[in-house]
Amino acid sequence: MNLYKLNRTLHRDLGYFFIGMTLIYAISGIAINHIKDWNPNYIIRKEAFQLNEILSHNQIDQQKVSEILRSINVDSYKSHYFPKSNILKIFIDGGSVTCELNTGYCEIETIKRRPLFYHLNKMHYNPGIIWTYFSDFYCVALAFLAISGLFIIKGKNGLKWRGAILGIIGVIIPILILLLYL
């Protein structure tokens, strides 16, 4: 087997082998890049409601907290505390309820893992030692795929002309961004 054919075979087979990893990093990478626009790991919902009465810190006990939760159809009380004298924070399964006692204004916040993205992002962030080794192997394979890809096509559409121009542009763009924006 000649070197050209071996290169094509390894490039193809590694490309097939790492399709899953490539999709994991591509999808989670886009999600993480836009973390300022949305939370890729969690769906956070906030809903406001008004208490029927104005309360004071002294009136709040376990029974009163249970009444507040029943009024909004929540029955998963965990604990509560006062971050400020007029603010009641109640922890519930999957979120919390915050009430301003002097105004009666309350807000329930629920947090739920975002399907698919939560797990892909966790893998992107590297969840353990086995994944570290597999990811390292993937990084080496990506470097090989980038370099071996240069030699897949021969002639004017390959590294001699078109491939060289596109390759140079592909190197210059990140360098310009690094120099101008970072």
Q: According to the model, what pLDDT value does residue 22 have? A: 93
Q: What DSSP state is assigned to residue 108?
A: E
Same domain? For 24 and 46 the reply is no
pLDDT tens per residue across span 57-116: 888 999 999 999 998 889 899 999 999 989 999 999 999 999 999 999 999 999 999 999
Residue 25 and residue 55 in one domain: no
To the question of pTM greater than 0.85 for the whole model, the response is no
Q: Compute the distance between CA of residue 180 and CA of residue 164 in angstroms, rounded to an integer.
A: 24
Please tell me whether residues 46 and 109 are part of one structural domain: yes
Q: Are residues 21 and 64 in the same domain?
A: no
Task: Quote the number of domains for the chain.
Answer: 2
Sheet of strand 77-84, all strands in order from the earlier edge strand to the far edge: 42-50, 105-113, 95-100, 87-92, 77-84
Domain that holds residue 84: 42-113
Whole-number pLDDT of residue 126: 79
